Amino acid sequence: MVHIPMPGPQGRADLHNHTTASDGTNPPAAQVRWAREQGLAAVAITDHDTIAGWDEALEAGRELGIEIVPGCELSTEVGKTEVHLLAYYFDRTEPEMAALLKRMRGGRRARAAEAVEKLHKLGHTQVSLERVLEIGGESVGRPHLAQVLVECGICRAKDDAFDRFLSIGKPAYVPRPKLTPEEAIEAVRRAGGVPVIAHPGLIRDDKWVRHFIEAGVMGIEAYHTDHSDNQRQFYARWGLDAGLVVTGGTDSHGPRGMRTVVPGSVNVAMDVVAQLKQASTFWQRTQA
């Protein structure tokens, strides 16, 4: 278990979690409860392109005595490389940020519809777009398509669905909606939020990490489930040298995903939450 001793507020925080508001398997309240059972002082809800889980999570946090860090995860593209951006403590009512999230969710729906059409052309007409949207909600994604392929008996498991149909280069793959790093970072900052580059070790090319830093990210997720110890140390040092908030989290998708990652198994000190609040102009305004 990763623990980073730092001065400041007591306790630990997991700053990267997904729920059924996007591609997680726990409803927001259940994911919050699971995090609280691990002894966490704070947990971030960072669903893909949506804030639909915020209110339920915040209510559960109040009931259970665990602080909720509101956020979301955006997928950007540089060249042919996908780079994820975590956004924390932004104003959800800010028009341009709200419009960006709506556009990305619309693109997700169109992507799902095109993938289903490709599956129908392959002869898998039992795959229903209605069912995909039923389980995927407003932030539908490939995991929901994979679930329907399993339900229909076409695939044995979700990873089989990705291997046969949904990964890049496979017959039902559809590219995700386009979003540049600059557009995403600018939107988050304009909404008073804190943009953080997610799991940089998974990008596999540090020139894009440098690109994000030059584009104005305010934090870097050095501590992640899929980072090695060397990567954690490397990106933490890079972040500190660049004056960024060094964050961390599990990227937990609940107990029934393609793998189970327990909230808090990667964590940071609560001082990091304080740093995010200090960096958020929106959060600062709400406390004035």
The CATH number of whichever domain residue 63 belongs to comes to: 3.20.20.140
Give a yes or no: residue 5 inside a domain.
Answer: no
Look at the chain and report how many structural domains it folds into. Answer: 2
Give a yes or no: residue 3 inside a domain.
Answer: no
pLDDT, position 256 = 82
Q: What whole-number distance in Å separates Cα of residue 105 and Cα of residue 50?
A: 8
Q: How many CB atoms lie within 10 A of CB 184?
A: 24
Answer yes or no: do 50 and 129 share one domain: no
Answer yes or no: do 152 and 181 share one domain: no
149 token code pair: 């392929």
pLDDT, position 42 = 98
Give a yes or no: residue 107 inside a domain.
Answer: no
The parent domain of residue 151 ranges over: 113-166
Answer yes or no: do 74 and 137 share one domain: no
pTM for the structure as a whole: 0.89
Answer yes or no: do 32 and 122 share one domain: no
Answer yes or no: do 47 and 73 share one domain: yes
pLDDT, position 113 = 95
| Strand partners for 43 | 14, 68
Answer yes or no: do 183 and 264 share one domain: yes
| Strand partners for 248 | 223
pLDDT per residue, tens digit, the chain (288 aa), is: 444 444 446 799 999 999 999 999 999 999 999 999 999 999 999 999 999 999 999 999 999 999 999 999 999 988 778 899 999 999 999 999 999 999 999 998 999 999 999 999 999 999 999 999 988 888 888 888 999 999 999 999 989 999 999 998 999 999 877 899 999 999 999 999 999 999 999 998 999 999 999 999 999 999 999 999 999 999 999 999 999 999 999 999 999 877 899 999 999 999 999 999 999 999 999 997
